[in-house]
Amino acid sequence: MICKLCNQAFLIDEHFSSLFTFKNICPQCDNIYKPVINFEVVPIYQGEIRYYYLYNDLKLSFYQSRYLSRNLGLIYKFLIKEKLLNYSIVFIDLELLETIEDWGIHIIGFGRIVFFSLERYDLSWIKIFQ
Ligand SMILES: [Zn+2]
């Protein structure tokens, strides 16, 4: 098999229980890209932004991001479990962050905001949150 994340060939143990499941990523990538819900709080005027992301300290390529985005369901389930659906929830990516100075000022007033993303972005440079 060819790993969807690192494009290296890898072998799989074939036995009856794995007959109808196809492993798309190699054991090394399975370990490296294991999704973990990370959490940060960004204090803002009269509130906070809870920031959840799955991958910290990894620079994901476009194809890796596209493949791993299937793991975002973990955050959706977490938000439901933690009863955070009454927060204003915003999915952020690099493209949206480029314009955050334009749209971010409009959501600060909500006070209770959740940002989530696949990989961690540094939000400390954003002036509207300071
Ligand atoms: Zn791999």
The predicted-structure confidence for 14-65, as pLDDT tens digits, reads as follows 777 666 777 889 999 999 999 999 999 988 877 889 999 999 988 899 999 9
Q: Give the three-state DSSP class for 13.
A: coil
| Neighbouring-strand partners of residue 63 | none
Task: Region of 15 please: left (phi>0), alpha (psi -120 to 50) or beta.
Answer: beta
Neighbours of 83 (CB within 10 A): 8
Query: Whose structure tokens read 């954003």?
Result: 126
Given this model, what pLDDT does residue 89 score? 93
Q: Supply the pTM of this predicted model.
A: 0.85
What does the domain layout of the chain look like in residue ranges?
Answer: 1-32, 34-129
Angle, vertex CA 125, rays to CA 113 and CA 48, nearest 5: 20
CA of 5 to the centre of ligand 1 (A): 5
Between the CA of 4 and the centroid of ligand 1 the distance, in Å, is 7
Distance 11 CA to ligand 1 centre (A): 11
Bridge-based pairing state of the strands 47-55 and 38-44: antiparallel
Q: What are phi and psi of 16, to 5 degrees?
A: -60, -40
Decide: helix, strand or coil at residue 75.
helix
* Mean pLDDT score, 95-111: 86
User: What is the C-alpha to C-alpha distance for residues 100 and 4, in angstroms, rounded to an integer?
Assistant: 32
Q: How far is the CA of 29 from the centre of ligand 1 (A)?
A: 4
